[in-house]
Chain A
Amino acid sequence: MILIIGLDILLDDVDDDSQDSVRGMPDLMLTQLLMCILPLVLTAALFRDAPPTPPSKSTQLKNDRQQREHDLHLSSTGSSNSSSDGKGELWSQLLLSDDLVQLQNNKNYLVLFCAFSIGVGFFNSLMTLLNQLIAPFGYR
């Protein structure tokens, strides 16, 4: 908060030459730019992909399986795969087709899916339209 107020004071001269009726748009954009730089720099510097020792048996098994699949994939790419096969495989990977077919038969999942869809839909539309909903009542 202090950072924002400080920025506002520092950058007050930026938009004084603008003739528009709305002030502060460059300040807003610069503030958000700076707030995007900070996490990116920290992530690039400090983030680690995985711990040296896995935290649980299931993670270790998953790592091993992925390693095996990776090796298998590396050994098979050179020999037989044509480009069209690769494309079909890519699309089935992207669309998670096996998982989606399994999920359609899972009743609990479908109930959760409907409930979450409604909730997330309401949240998103409220988040976007909040100002327009309350503006007629004098909140600006």
Chain B
Amino acid sequence: MDSSSNSASMHTLTVDREPHQQQVAAAAREDGDETFIVYRYRWLVLGLFCLSEAANAMMWVTFSPISNLVQDYFGQGSYYGSTTSVNMLANIFLVLYGPGTLLSVYCMKHMKLKSTLVLAGSLTLLGALIRYIAALNNDSLGHGNVYILMMIGQALAAITQPMYLNSPPALSSIWFAVNERDTATTIGAMCSPIGNAIGQLIPALLVSGRRPSGECTGSTPCHLN
């Protein structure tokens, strides 16, 4: 940063001085005597960000599309199998949005973007791991402990969600030219709903119940049982 500011004040070009030769300059912009470069690498950066964000958003709606099956899983009629308890597994993302925003502001102030994203991804991964372990040991742990472990896993993913949702403007201002920033921010922000959509699809494909299918349809709704 020092070298670029010095050279800018001396009206010299600052192209390819740094040792990143493999990066291809897609477009060079002349602005007075200074040159600004928009790298093709920016799309890869944006794509990586989108993947991480979609993975995090997918965790949010894990239990929503199969909420009646999750109720069966925790025991229909018990405390952990109630509608409210199952909905709280998704609502924890909204409850922890405020504390997570404070954390994300702190991280973006004191850490680089990559460290922030790796930290967020690690916490999400830890949450997913805890949920997997809980689901594997369902028989030995009991419904209450499994529910609490699932909630901890969801909470770990939830606390990192604002790091993803608040990052797209920062990312696009660092990597993209002024006229591309809106597009980049939009793409970055749209990946959260796309991740939600994928997250709505996957659980329904993988989880199935053993109930006869006709039991809950029509005039005897399942959610009233």
Contact = CB atoms under 8 A, between A and B. Distances in A.
Contacts of B56: 36
Interface in A1-54: 4-5, 8, 14, 18-33, 35-40, 42-44, 46-54
B64 A129 contact: yes
A138 B218 contact: yes
B117 A53 contact: no
Contacts of A14: 136
A75 B132 CA distance: 48
B4 A60 contact: yes
A131 B66 contact: yes
Contacts of B48: 39, 42-43, 46-47
A121 to B, nearest CB: 9
Contacts of A129: 64, 87
A136 interface: yes
A118 interface: no
A107 interface: no
B182 to A, nearest CB: 13
Given A24-B208, A39-B51, A51 B128 contact: no
A8 B225 CA distance: 30
B207 A24 contact: yes
A28 B203 contact: yes
A132 B128 contact: no
B122 A48 contact: no
Nearest to A70: B1
B148 interface: no
A127 interface: yes
Contact of A29 (B5, B114, B135, B213): B135
B121 A33 contact: no
Contacts of B129: 33
B45 A59 contact: no
A132 B211 CA distance: 17
Nearest to B174: A50
B66 A43 contact: no
Interface residues of B, number: 97
B145 interface: no
B185 interface: no
A90 B37 CA distance: 35
A56 to B, nearest CB: 5
B62 A32 contact: yes
A21 B206 contact: no
Contact of A21 (B23, B64, B94, B209): B209
B8 A4 contact: no
A58 interface: yes
A35 B106 CA distance: 27
A20 B175 contact: no
Most buried by B among A21, A30, A90, A131: A131
Contacts of B173: 58-59, 62
B206 A28 contact: yes
A33 B44 CA distance: 23
Given A21-B209, A31-B202, A33-B132, 18 more contacts: A21-B211, A22-B208, A26-B135, A26-B138, A35-B55, A42-B51, A47-B114, A55-B36, A55-B37, A55-B39, A60-B5, A60-B34, A90-B106, A93-B109, A94-B102, A95-B102, A130-B64, A132-B83
Interface of A: 4-5, 8, 14, 18-33, 35-40, 42-44, 46-60, 62-64, 67, 90, 93-96, 123-124, 127-132, 135-136, 138, 140
